[in-house]
Amino acid sequence: MDVTVAEFIRRTVLKVPRSHIPALLQAWGFLPAARLQALDVRPLKEAIAEAVVQLCQENSASIKEAAVLDIVYNHTFQNKRVWTVYQMTKATGGETDIFDFTAFKRKFKRRIQSSLINVTINFKEFEDNAIWIRIAWGTSYTKPNQYKATYVVYHSQTPYAFISKSINRSNLPLLCQALIVASNYGDIREMELRSHCLDSLKDIVFKRYSQTFQTHHPKPLQERNVAPENVDPRLIQEDKSEKERIQRVNQEVFGDGPQPKLEFAQYKLETMFKSSPKMVNVSERESFRCLVKFSSPHLLEALKSLAPAGMADAPLSPLLTCIPHKARNYFKIKERKGVLAAGLVSP
């Protein structure tokens, strides 16, 4: 077995939390189950990694197996990466074709390798019909860098692909090209929708978030503002009807179910500065630069609880509530639409 492969496997195992190691190795499915059972996960992680590498050596693992291990790792800990959604469109006619995984793999590989020899490309299909593609990029003179790979998640029956953010921006056009060639689409564009939580992105673009029967967060979050039942007759809530109105409006806007998980929303103003005629020293054509960023561990839930918590007026600005419907969280606000940042209330 190659030294670099052994080192790569060792480092990948070291990244995994100890309690997840057996499940991860099982999902990998490369090492025989009997040997996995015998693997002791109690000692130091270095020792476990050493033992795993030993096992791989016996089974003569190649870079292909190591790459699959890396895919399994990234599938398990997908929240560690930032995912960007890309939408593909058919040219015209749009004949429905049956998806052929082997043809897809072949076309994808051929397209990339025709421009770049030094790449490692690996595929793995998961139960939910997701195809994970891992591409380690090299240049014409250097070997592929296994530690800075790009990951693509593609669902065969949908026009969406999720690409992990990586430093190899220069290879992105090639990757996009390979994707549309392999999946028989005409064009691809970035959707301005990014998040750490891949499942939430899928919820948004596949429109499953507001349906009550299937979202990826199975347990509804505990309602924070459920007031303890007003037992004391000396306490009188004066504006019950207003509260009910807020609840109702909020429910209309956000729905019942838990919200998909996004971490940021960004609004960029590209409007002209309009001054009163008296202020002559300010140039009329100067653009008014302003960038509003919202960030939160769970942005949409946070927005949802703004009004009930008494921090904003009940129907929030449509700019904030349109995020899941429009499936984007990066916005540019232009002059003609006539929307102003003044309508935004910062959380």
Dist CA 129 CA 118 (whole Å): 29
Find the shortest distance in angstroms from Cβ 313 to another protein: 8
Among 242, 270, 284, 335, binds another protein (CB under 8 A): 242
Among 235, 279, 280, 291, binds another protein (CB under 8 A): 235
Among 37, 237, 276, 281, binds another protein (CB under 8 A): 237
295 binds another protein (CB under 8 A): no
Kind plus residue range of the DSSP H or E element containing 154: strand 150-155
Dist CA 274 CA 284 (whole Å): 7
To 5 degrees, how large is the angle CA 335–CA 341–CA 342? 125
Pairing of β 150-155 and β 160-164: antiparallel
Question: Which range touches another protein (CB under 8 A), out of 181-189, 232-240, 271-279, 318-326?
Answer: 232-240
- What Rg do the C-alpha atoms of the chain give, in angstroms? 25
Among 93, 277, 310, 338, binds another protein (CB under 8 A): 310
128 binds another protein (CB under 8 A): no
For 56, counting Cβ atoms within 10 Å of its Cβ (0-12 exposed, 13-18 middle, 19+ buried), the class is buried
Count CB neighbours of 17 within 10 A: 10
345 binds another protein (CB under 8 A): yes
Find the shortest distance in angstroms from Cβ 247 to another protein: 13
The interface mask with another protein, positions 201-230, x = CB under 8 A, is ------------------------x-x---
- Cα atoms found within 13 Å of the Cα of residue 114, Cβ hemisphere only: 10
Binding residues for another protein, rule CB under 8 A, total 18
Is the alpha carbon torsion for 181, 184, 188, 193 positive or negative? negative
127 binds another protein (CB under 8 A): no
- Cα atoms found within 13 Å of the Cα of residue 185, Cβ hemisphere only: 22
320 binds another protein (CB under 8 A): no
14 binds another protein (CB under 8 A): no
In the DSSP assignment, the letter for residue 160 is E
Among 197, 201, 312, 333, binds another protein (CB under 8 A): 312
Residues that bind another protein (CB under 8 A): 225, 227, 232, 234-239, 241-243, 309-313, 345
